[in-house]
Amino acid sequence: MNWKIKEKINTDISHGSDLPAVLVRLLAGRGIEGGEEIRAFLDSDYEKNNHDPFLFSDMEKAVERIRKACNEGEKVVIFGDYDADGITSSVILKETLEQIGIAVSVYIPDKKSEGYGLNGKAVAKLAEKGIKLIVTVDCGITGIKEVEKAQELGVDVIITDHHHVPEVLPKALAIINPRIEGCGYPFLELAGVGVAFKLAQALFERLLPEKKDHTKWLLDLVAVGTVADCVPLVGENRIFVKYGLLVLSKTKRTGFQQLFSVARLNIDENNLPSTRNIGYHIAPRINAAGRINHANLAYDLLVEGDVAKSRAYALELEDNNSSRQKITETVTNEVKVLAENMFKDKKLIFAVGENFPIGVVGLVAGKIVQQFNKPTAVLQKGETESKGSFRSIPQVNIIEAIEKCQELLIKFGGHSQAAGISIENGKLEAFYEKLNAQIEKELEGKDISPELLIDAEVSAEELDFSLAEGLEKCKPFGEGNPEPVFVMRGLSVENLRTIGNGEKHLKFSLKAQGSPKILEAVGFYLAKEFAHIRRGDLIDAAFNLQKDEWNGNRRIQLMLIDLKSAGK
């Protein structure tokens, strides 16, 4: 792996005179400079960093239409999505509209039979049931025909979404999407749940002002949906997740409590969850419902108040997640064979199979990208059309590339690094050829070898509790705000041993040249890769810095990411 050290930025260290110089330089490298900006980032005040929801140009129209629905006793449906972002969004708006006094129901499409987003059959079925207003969450921005159909049937549509904005927009009553040019909202990176939360804030502010503090108790859902959707944890997203993790630690939702119990997650007021808990444990279980059966299971879990029912839902989700893991591994191995043969010399891996379950194609594409560092599509081939998911590398904006081939598609949508399509089988070859050519052109002359981005090179003297505690204030870490990576050079291996079940991990005692300090370091799953390292060797180490507190003892610990022989 190539190490790329960020260019050292000349910044006025006095702006953070009470902070370690390393931390001030690190923040400057992330575009956070000046005393006021540094304090705002580290203090992360909820009220100061929470934008007015009415900055959205269509928010007023959306709120007034919902007020009308309440006053006239109309039936309203929230049209959701089957992933963790869409499910948490659905729960937020359901609870909000119920507080207002609206008879509201939630419709989440079946991933296998309906696919993503609004669809004509569902719209017609909802109109037949007397629905007068559809509010979409985490979808709808590409639903031009579906919105037209709803209007023909006398149903108004409010779209809340955060996905890539197409050239032509649906003619909905109101569209709330921060990516629409000129929408008035200053923060573009909200997840679908973040957009739904802004609508909830607006509704409480106008229709239930005396209860508007209730919105803070929705932040557990906002945190889960935001982290699950891998949006950048900067700006409002970082604030929502930071405070959402606090709410999640004391959540009153029986469903979350039972999910924690079944997943054996130690989360309570004394044990705050991390973004890793969400990304690796909570979100996969919520997502498993839609991947294996129907997302309604996860939705039912989150809205259920009965302990016994919640427990049953959580146990069923656990079974779904186990099945999902096995299916994903099988399909990944099949696609890996294709990647190593058919697509060995291609820039785009494009795997189409009749036996690829639609519920796991996105996961499989992500795993193949990690292994081969190429944009990857995995599609399930049906009788007449194929559906599937793309995952990309940082150098390729996949949704923009797909958009240039849209005349060959039935439907598409997504983000720069993840997207989905539906396509007629007869157009698969033409689509692949055009998209592959587009990606080849985009990557021409670019180095796409995997890189480890290093925030700063440090000395042993700079590693202290002051720096470790400063890094704690930079949390939550995640997409867009990664945990800082440091490098130290010329470290002498004073001691090393394998640890853990199966001896897969390494534990080091390291000494920096010219320093009396002995640094403790741990490398998880590094024992096989670095089995050649011996006591007395000189190494360069890339690592995260953490506090290790156990039985009243405190020490600094290096969490190793990669190692190299010194000077290489």
349 falls in which pLDDT band (50, 70, 90)? very high
Distance, CA of 386 to CA of 394 (rounded, Å): 26
- Assign residue 405 the CATH number of its domain: 3.10.310.30
Give the mean model confidence (pLDDT) for residues 145-174: 95
- Assign residue 217 the CATH number of its domain: 3.90.1640.30
The verdict on 303 and 384 lying in the same domain is no
Instruction: Calculate what percentage of the chain has a pLDDT beyond 70.
Output: 98
- Helical H runs in 451-508? 465-472
The verdict on 430 and 503 lying in the same domain is no
Residues 6+ apart with CB under 8 A from 568: 540
Question: Is there a contact between 275 and 281 (Cβ–Cβ < 8 Å)?
Answer: no
| 270-305 pLDDT per residue, tens | 999 999 999 999 999 999 999 888 999 999 999 999
Residues 6+ apart with CB under 8 A from 208: 99, 100, 214
- Assign residue 537 the CATH number of its domain: 2.40.50.460
34 falls in which pLDDT band (50, 70, 90)? confident
> Which amino acid is residue 400, in one-letter code?
E
The verdict on 117 and 232 lying in the same domain is yes
Strand ranges across the sheet with 174-176 = 104-107, 75-79, 131-137, 156-160, 174-176
Closest CA to 363 of 302, 270, 290: 290
Does the residue 16 lie in any domain?
Answer: no
Does the residue 329 lie in any domain?
Answer: no
The verdict on 208 and 90 lying in the same domain is yes
33 falls in which pLDDT band (50, 70, 90)? confident
Distance, CA of 216 to CA of 201 (rounded, Å): 9
Question: Is there a contact between 399 and 415 (Cβ–Cβ < 8 Å)?
Answer: yes
Does the residue 194 lie in any domain?
Answer: yes
Residue 390 has pLDDT above 80, yes or no: yes
Boundary (domain end) residue, out of 388, 418, 443: 443
More confident residue, 447 or 429: 429
Domain limits at 432? Answer: 341-443
The verdict on 520 and 549 lying in the same domain is yes
Tokens of 540: 């360069």
Does the residue 495 lie in any domain?
Answer: yes
Does the residue 141 lie in any domain?
Answer: yes
Instruction: Calculate what percentage of the chain has a pLDDT beyond 90.
Output: 81
| 352-362 pLDDT per residue, tens | 999 999 989 99
pTM: 0.88
Residue 490 has pLDDT above 60, yes or no: yes
State the pLDDT at residue 324.
92
Pairing of strands 486-499, 418-424: unpaired
Q: What is the 3-state secondary structure (H, E, C) of 218-285?
A: HHHHHHHHHHHCCCCCCHHHHHHHHHHHHHHHCCCCHHHHHHHHHHCCCCECCECCCHHHHHHHHHHH
37 falls in which pLDDT band (50, 70, 90)? confident
Q: What is the 3-state secondary structure (H, E, C) of 90-123?
A: HHHHHHHHHHHCCCEEEECCCCCCCCCCCCHHHH
Give the mean model confidence (pLDDT) for residues 316-345: 94
State the pLDDT at residue 513.
86
Question: Is there a contact between 279 and 478 (Cβ–Cβ < 8 Å)?
Answer: yes
State the pLDDT at residue 114.
82
Residues 6+ apart with CB under 8 A from 560: 506, 508, 521, 522, 523, 524, 526, 541, 542, 543
Give the mean model confidence (pLDDT) for residues 393-417: 91
Pairing of strands 518-523, 538-550: unpaired
Reduced to 3 states (helix: H, G, I; strand: E, B; else coil), residue 373 is: coil
Tokens of 453: 């981005």
| 206-230 pLDDT per residue, tens | 999 999 999 999 999 999 999 999 8
Boundary (domain end) residue, out of 207, 239, 271: 239
State the pLDDT at residue 11.
66
Does the residue 367 lie in any domain?
Answer: yes
The verdict on 128 and 60 lying in the same domain is yes
Pairing of strands 553-565, 518-523: parallel
The verdict on 394 and 305 lying in the same domain is no
pLDDT, the chain, mean: 93
Question: Is there a contact between 285 and 264 (Cβ–Cβ < 8 Å)?
Answer: no
12 falls in which pLDDT band (50, 70, 90)? low
Distance, CA of 199 to CA of 95 (rounded, Å): 12
DSSP per-residue string spanning 493-561? EEEEEEESTTS-EEEEEEEETT---EEEEEETT-TTTTTT--TT-EEEEEEEEEEEEETTEEEEEEEEE
Residue 1 has pLDDT above 90, yes or no: no
Does the residue 22 lie in any domain?
Answer: no
Residues 6+ apart with CB under 8 A from 56: 176, 178, 183, 184, 185, 198, 202
Report the number of distinct structural domains present in the chain: 4
Does the residue 396 lie in any domain?
Answer: yes
The verdict on 58 and 186 lying in the same domain is yes
State the pLDDT at residue 276.
94
The verdict on 381 and 469 lying in the same domain is no
The verdict on 366 and 487 lying in the same domain is no
State the pLDDT at residue 107.
96
Residue 13 has pLDDT above 60, yes or no: no
Distance, CA of 453 to CA of 438 (rounded, Å): 27
Reduced to 3 states (helix: H, G, I; strand: E, B; else coil), residue 139 is: coil
Tokens of 243: 């405070």
Distance, CA of 149 to CA of 144 (rounded, Å): 9
Residue 49 has pLDDT above 60, yes or no: yes
408 DSSP β-pair partners: none
Residue 484 CB neighbour total at 10 angstroms: 23
Residue 15 has pLDDT above 60, yes or no: no
Closest CA to 555 of 524, 517, 515: 517
Indicate the range of 111-115, 442-446, 479-483 predicted with least confidence. Answer: 111-115
The verdict on 147 and 290 lying in the same domain is no
Residue 16 has pLDDT above 70, yes or no: no
| 449-472 pLDDT per residue, tens | 888 999 999 999 999 999 999 999
The verdict on 82 and 161 lying in the same domain is yes
